[in-house]
Structure 1
Amino acid sequence: MSHKTLLRTGPLWEGAESPYGPIQPPGADGLALPGGFTGRVVARSGRKVAGLTWHAAPDGGACFPDGPGWIYVSNSELPLLGGAAALRFRADGSVGDAYRILSGTDLNCAGGATPWHSWLSCELGHRGRVFECDPYGVRAARPRLAMGRFKHEAAACDPDREVVYLTEGEPDGCFYRFRPSDWGDLTEGTLEVLCVSGAWRPVPSPAALLKASRHQVEDARHFDGGDACHYAGGVCYFTTKGDGVLWAYDAEASTLDRVYDGVRAITAAPSGDLYVARETTEIHVISPDRSVTPFCVLDGHAGAELTGLAFSPDGGRLYFSAKRGRSDGDTFEVAGPFRP
């Protein structure tokens, strides 16, 4: 793996080279991007967007097709008042609507999109649940309790093996997969945990009150705080927040590799490139050959965590949020000539 260092003496963007050329000084919103790319804030915590007050602590997110337009969904990592909301974009990129799709839940951190266009919003609180939500705002959200009761972080669907991978936000959290009885229906199924041997073993009581899921299987493999999760090209990528490691689980070969350090959030572009949010306010690109280059720097947001990375269905726009604690946050859009 080759690395190109982003940080130089002087401004963060000075001397940084992206796959699209040099990164330019930041614009009015603090986004330093390669030439040809533009950025904007599409929502701010506590302010109105299309009649909706945008939530605090924006976290995990995903995009969904919507006729000629698209929808971006974002979680809120607030205690007791978390939930999720959606922005509906018109074909020209303007925001046509904004609405809640989940309310009254606890610490909705990350999550994941399903192939059948629903949003899995994951609670990070004690005995957290996974809620399946409708990004289009038509159907009520439903808890999927068979997926376990623990500190859920993220979810990633593997349509090839018809399973959903799950991360756990504990210092000794596990890496799980949920095998539904019927693909497309998450009401019932089997929760399995990855073991040290590389095998997957069923969790006997996913919703047990007295013994946590991560302690129910003797040889379960433990990780330092599971975080983001994304499936692409036969590989489930996930991060661990305690040590900042990006892992790659090859689902076909049943192997686990350490890819990169200092990563918090992740998504994949149609090109096969991975876009990862660093522990600093930077987004890097990891190409299919695993070379790493910078793409974006968010200036003037020291201490913010970048969350909710997601591409629009056509691959032409990247969304993410800069979360500052549990009271504030900006949600951004970057548009430009992303590699097809």
Structure 2
Amino acid sequence: MNNVTYQDSAPEQHSRRTLLKRAVAGGTLALGFGALDGLVRAAHATDRVSTTVGLGDGGYGELRPVIRTDPVTGYRQELLLPHGFDFALFGLAGTTMDDGHVTPLGHDGMAAYRGPHGSYRLVRNHEERTGSGQVSPSGDAADRYDGSGGGGTSTLQVSVRSGQVEVERVWTSLAGTIVNCAGGPTPWGSWLSCEETTAGTRHAGWERDHGYVFEVDSRADRPVEPKPLPALGRFVHEAVAVDHRTGIVYLTEDRGTAGFYRFVPARRGDLTLGKLQMLAVADAAGYDTRTGQSQGAELPIEWVDIDDPDPRDAETDPLAVYRQGHARGGATFARLEGCWWGGQAVYLVSTNGGDVGEGQIWEYRPHPGGRDGGTLSLVYESFDRAVMSFPDNITVSPRGTLLVCEDTSRSDPQLIGVTGEGSTFPFCVDPTDDEWCGATFSHDGRVLFANLQGSTSGSPLAPETPGRTVAIWGPWQRGAL
């Protein structure tokens, strides 16, 4: 048991209108919404300039260095956090879990759930990218989807008792999959873990075909049976978001040429049978969202069917699903990564979309009822990498603020929010330049959990940089988060 101190506290393109004219000192990416439609309204404002806000305006003020040590390995981590905030470090790659297995590499997407007896449960992806000939398989052989797969998920149970965070238990919850990048939580308490590859048996040397979504019950105390969900498509998956009203699953594709999809289940909660569809802009077949967009403009949406969600040639043609949808008029995006459900809409991230290739944030808002039509709006586009550079995972706080993880080659990647008025504020900085992943708030709003990815290939026994999980807490009421 690890103890750390806890303090409760295409067709015709729209011409774009520049939202940001300059980078503001100290400002960088992020998005968060006091009211989730606030930034859409801000995007309509003429020549709006993004500013970094402080205490009293949604931000948390100046950041200061805080250093904490993992009690198991002695690994030291520095983060820059606002005054009054603290963090704990735990669950590092290379450490031995309670089931006897080594924690895999590549900490990535994650979600937090209610655990037993007041605890929190975290289901955490591992984006393990070691090739089939050198990889260390995850979990027990009997529990693996692919006998040589080294990725999957781990589950951590974390409790707060007597002013301390206690990491009670960590174990393998999905074994033998590969490149588990992101995913998303479901309203029925499971985690959907997505493989970001279509590698398979014919060319890559794996024992099973990959490129699927797998469901992991957050309540499971042992590894789940690894069942791929081919109805949700075989492509280069990134993240999912589930409409809490209808059970419709929205999915992103992490390719330079990518589509945005939805899966309409035949029965809510059953992801084995239903229809996979691709987003299209009405009366604009083949619409290309990657450049030339107007922030705030609302595009009417329709959905086109994917006849074969699990194509036989997906390993050699990772865009086989995309090509089906595009042939029917589906829209094209650039590297769709994180997506999250909040405020009756899906917020999705195009990591290097936009006229300068530094990122876009889109909102898809279904029509009332959630099944047909809806609108797509570009709510944020970066025109300067000092303001925003490669947004990736995305989440929504219990207070309705959107928080984005940066994955950038620029120094000091950040977790940053934005007020309902569209002003940004840095919340947390990693001076080690690792990639932020998997930001997720506890259901009670007390704790923000997030991952620093670390190495994604090599030996999990001796990672060059260990992936690690952090818990952040403090006076959330001082700002918009």
Q: Given the two structures, how large is their TM-score scaled by the length of structure 2?
A: 0.65
Q: How many residues align?
A: 332
Residues of 1 paired with 2:25 and 2:348: CA distance? Answer: 23
Gaps of 5+ in 2: 1-18, 29-51, 69-76, 130-148, 199-209, 283-300, 315-319, 354-358, 368-373, 383-388, 458-465
Q: 1:145 to 1:208 in 2, by over 3 A?
A: same
The Cα shift of 1:25 comes to 2.7
Higher mean alpha-carbon deviation, 16-25 vs 288-297, is at: 16-25
Higher mean alpha-carbon deviation, 238-247 vs 141-150, is at: 238-247
Residues of 1 paired with 2:264 and 2:67: CA distance? Answer: 46
Which structure has more relative contact order (CA 8 Å, sep 6+)? It is 2
Residues of 1 paired with 2:26 and 2:88: CA distance? Answer: 22
**Counterpart position of 2:203:** none
The Cα shift of 1:287 comes to 2.5
> Does the 8 Å contact 1:56/1:76 carry over to 2?
yes
Q: 1:7 to 1:179 in 2, by over 3 A?
A: closer
Residues of 2 paired with 1:216 and 1:306: CA distance? Answer: 33
Q: 1:275 to 1:86 in 2, by over 3 A?
A: same
Does residue 157 of structure 2 align to residue 157 of structure 1? Answer: no
**Counterpart position of 1:287:** 419
Residues of 1 paired with 2:261 and 2:472: CA distance? Answer: 32
> Does the 8 Å contact 1:84/1:101 carry over to 2?
yes
> Which of residues 105, 117, 122 is equivalent to 1:56?
105
Does residue 158 of structure 2 align to residue 89 of structure 1? Answer: yes
Q: Secondary structure at the match of 1:90?
A: strand
> Which of residues 79, 100, 107 is equivalent to 2:179?
107
Gaps of 5+ in 1: 9-14
Residues of 2 paired with 1:97 and 1:324: CA distance? Answer: 21
Residues of 1 paired with 2:402 and 2:27: CA distance? Answer: 20
1:226-279: CA deviation from partner (whole Å, max 9, x where unpaired): 111111001211112333222221223422223243311111101111111123
Q: 1:48 to 1:23 in 2, by over 3 A?
A: same
> Does the 8 Å contact 1:99/1:137 carry over to 2?
no
Summarize the alignment of residues 132-211 of structure 1 with structure 2, pairs less than 5 Å apart.
132-138=215-221, 139-197=224-282, 198-210=301-313
Q: 1:42 to 1:17 in 2, by over 3 A?
A: farther
Pair member with larger Rg: 2
Residues of 2 paired with 1:49 and 1:298: CA distance? Answer: 26
Q: Which amino acid aligns with 2:415?
A: I
1:54-94: CA deviation from partner (whole Å, max 9, x where unpaired): 22111100001013111011101113311000110123221
Q: Which amino acid aligns with 1:74?
A: R
Q: Which amino acid aligns with 1:123?
A: E
Does residue 341 of structure 2 align to residue 272 of structure 1? Answer: no
Q: Which amino acid aligns with 2:378?
A: D
Q: 1:119 to 1:66 in 2, by over 3 A?
A: same
**Counterpart position of 1:323:** 453
Residues of 1 paired with 2:153 and 2:24: CA distance? Answer: 36
Residues of 1 paired with 2:24 and 2:242: CA distance? Answer: 31
Does residue 189 of structure 2 align to residue 117 of structure 1? Answer: yes
1:133-192: CA deviation from partner (whole Å, max 9, x where unpaired): 122324434221111111111010012243111001121110001111111111111111
Q: Which amino acid aligns with 1:41?
A: L
Summarize the alignment of residues 30-49 of structure 1 with structure 2, pairs less than 5 Å apart.
30-48=78-96
Q: Secondary structure at the match of 1:229?
A: strand
Q: Given the two structures, how large is their TM-score scaled by the length of structure 1?
A: 0.91
Residues of 2 paired with 1:260 and 1:100: CA distance? Answer: 38
Q: 1:165 to 1:265 in 2, by over 3 A?
A: same
Higher strand content, 1 or 2: 1
**Counterpart position of 2:61:** 21
> Which of residues 66, 74, 77 is equivalent to 2:127?
77
> Does the 8 Å contact 1:175/1:193 carry over to 2?
yes
Summarize the alignment of residues 301-340 of structure 1 with structure 2, pairs less than 5 Å apart.
301-302=432-433, 304-327=434-457, 328-339=466-477
Residues of 2 paired with 1:180 and 1:106: CA distance? Answer: 25
> Does the 8 Å contact 2:246/2:268 carry over to 1?
no
> Does the 8 Å contact 1:228/1:238 carry over to 2?
yes
Residues of 2 paired with 1:124 and 1:296: CA distance? Answer: 27
Residues of 2 paired with 1:23 and 1:276: CA distance? Answer: 17
